[in-house]
Amino acid sequence: MLELTARPLTREAFAPFGDVIDARTSASFPINNGRTQRHHDLAAVEIVDAPSSPLISIFVSQPITLPLELELLERHPLGSQAFMPLHEERFIVVVAPPGDEIDTQKICAFVTDGRQGVNYRAGTWHAIHSVLGQEGEFLVVDRGGADNLDERPMAIRITLAN
Ligand SMILES: NC(=O)N[C@@H](O)C(=O)O
Ligand code: NI
């Protein structure tokens, strides 16, 4: 059983796995006569093959209990997958770099702060959506169509730092 302590998510630490979506740390510019700040192009939506299309969905997830016991990691080889909380929900992110096999030395665990979303680049291994505290509602952008889910058994126990 691999044991990991989740650390606070940062853009730099997450860079090998995808993008952190955060209006507080992203550049923006005014639109709509200055009434709106556009935080532009924060994450790369990847659709590896046509004619699949990007989907916008809402996930309503029940909270996990800690320590989080994972039995598998999954990947979406043909598209990215983004999760953005709608009510500042925090969640656990467990990732490994893209590749046909999981490099267990490079598995990382993070915890978000409620204002952060993540975008897994195509092929990034990750745990399924794992919300902390209470039921969570997330906007999700990913690739429609078949053949985009690959799973590997992986026993991992995740704790939070005190
Ligand atoms: N299955 C599904 O749509 N969700 C997973 O891919 C996940 O990462 O939670
Ligand atoms: Ni997924």
Ligand 1 centroid–CA 24 distance in Å is 26
Q: Which of 68, 85, 40 is nearest to 126 (CA)?
A: 68
pLDDT averaged over every residue in the chain: 97
The answer to whether the CB of 140 is under 6 A from ligand 1 is no
Over residues 126-135, the mean pLDDT reads 98
| Candidate from 118, 128, 139, 152 with most ligand 1 atoms within 8 A of CB, to mutate | 128
Question: How many domains does one find in the chain?
Answer: 1
SS3 content of the chain, % helix, strand, coil (to 5): 10, 50, 45
pTM metric for this prediction: 0.96
Give the closest residue (by CA) to ligand 1 atom 8.
128
Ligand 2 centroid–CA 78 distance in Å is 11
CA distance 3 to 37: 41
Q: What does the pLDDT read at residue 120?
A: 98
Neighbours of 69 (CB within 10 A): 12
Ligand 1 atom, smallest distance to 120 CA: 8
Structure tokens at 100: 């046909």
Domain residues for the domain of 39 are 2-160
The answer to whether the CB of 108 is under 6 A from ligand 1 is no
pLDDT tens-digit map of 4-59: 999 999 999 999 999 999 999 999 999 999 999 999 999 999 999 878 899 999 99
pLDDT tens-digit map of 77-91: 999 999 999 999 999
Ligand 1 centroid–CA 50 distance in Å is 21
Q: How far is CA 54 from the centre of its chain?
A: 16
**What sign results for the dihedral spanned by CA atoms 145, 153, 135, 95?**
negative
Q: Which of 33, 28, 23 is nearest to 88 (CA)?
A: 23
Amino acid making up residue 111: V
CA distance 5 to 158: 6
- Predicted complex ipTM: 0.95
Give me the CATH number covering residue 92.
2.60.120.480
Ligand 2 centroid–CA 143 distance in Å is 10
